[in-house]
Amino acid sequence: MVVVMKKDASRDQIESVNRVLESFGFSGHLINGVNRIVIGAVGDRQAFASLGLEALPGVEKVVPIMRPFKLVSREVQDHPTVINVKDARIGGEEITLVAGPCAVESLEQVMETAEKAKAAGARVLRGGAYKPRTSPYTFQGMELEGLKILHEAGTHTGLATITEIIDGPSLELACRYVDIVQVGARNMQNFGLLKAVGQVGKPVLLKRGLSATIEEWLMAAEYIMSEGNEQVILCERGIRTFETYTRNTLDLSAVPLVKDLSHLPVLVDPSHSTGAARLVGAMSKAAIAAGADGLLIEVHPDPRKALCDGPQSLTPDAFTQLAGELRGLAAAVGRTVPLPDQLNGRKN
């Protein structure tokens, strides 16, 4: 349910509604809208009708939410959520480019990629310090040392940083070193981990699971938001189908659909979805046309020597060329891709 407060509702009146909700076992989430304040109430819907909230001072109306996901729904918040991290403004008019290697391999590798990605217009540096791999014998990431390298590269370039976490200990360490934590596809329904990231003060990028429906994906975001973290970014990264010519099947229909259902920003990962560098450009353009708020693109100085996902990684030069092509397409749909001289981060 949503309690819509009057435009002139006082702070005392808002707190009074929250106290009533809490006294009956409801969890109230304050949402500052463009024109007024609403309170998202999560709890037993049948008990809600007996509270008589409409009679409380400052309350304009009570609106039931029909969908199973509440806090992520546009029924709670009709304007898009915008998440600000350093120079990145995720969910606004600008399309956010997130670039970097699949895995952190060395300081030199990450620093070279970060500098060239920023020069092409990227706002966020990605890099895996923890790598949940299908085989236990493949490269698992540099872990703490990888986090420190990301932090150093982010400090040097002024780029925001993002990395995947896999459990409680990795989350605790990542929060010390990076700006955004990522919940990967394999952990989308790790509900204990979702609750944990919901309790930290970091933006969270939530990737869609390998075989997850859109409702399951949004319900996973609901877990995070129900713990108090409203800084959730959704990421479509392809789903598992019977097709074998691509790594996954990129479900671009999910982008406009989710943006209709939810106020959260939606990014697309054309690298993991296709598994082939030659397809990344086309799917990046298609994602922007579909309404994506940003792209996660894997970039490596020498993809042939990459320890992880080299075949789907762009070279820095290829990423620079793609970023230039995306600017023209973005303009055609009323969006922008930042030029390098528009970045306000620290100089190299």
**pLDDT of 347 strictly over 60:** no
- pLDDT tens digit string along 186-230? 999 999 999 999 999 899 999 999 999 999 999 999 999 989 899
| pLDDT value for 151 | 98
Report how far apart, in Å, the C-alpha atoms of 201 and of each of 176, 181, 249, 347 are: 11, 10, 33, 27
pLDDT digits (tens, 9 = 90+) for 7-39: 888 889 888 888 888 888 887 777 776 666 888
Domains and CATH numbers, the chain: 2-63 (3.30.70.1140), 83-342 (3.20.20.70)
Q: Is the pLDDT of residue 133 over 80?
A: no
Q: What pLDDT does 346 receive?
A: 40
Q: Over 50: is that where the pLDDT of 345 sits?
A: no
**CA 28 to CA 69: how far, in whole Å?**
15
Per-residue pLDDT, 48: 63
Q: Tell me the CA distances in angstroms from 33 to 4, 78, 79, 104, 346, one per residue in order.
A: 10, 8, 8, 39, 33
Judged against a pLDDT cut of 90, whether residue 106 lies above it is answered with yes
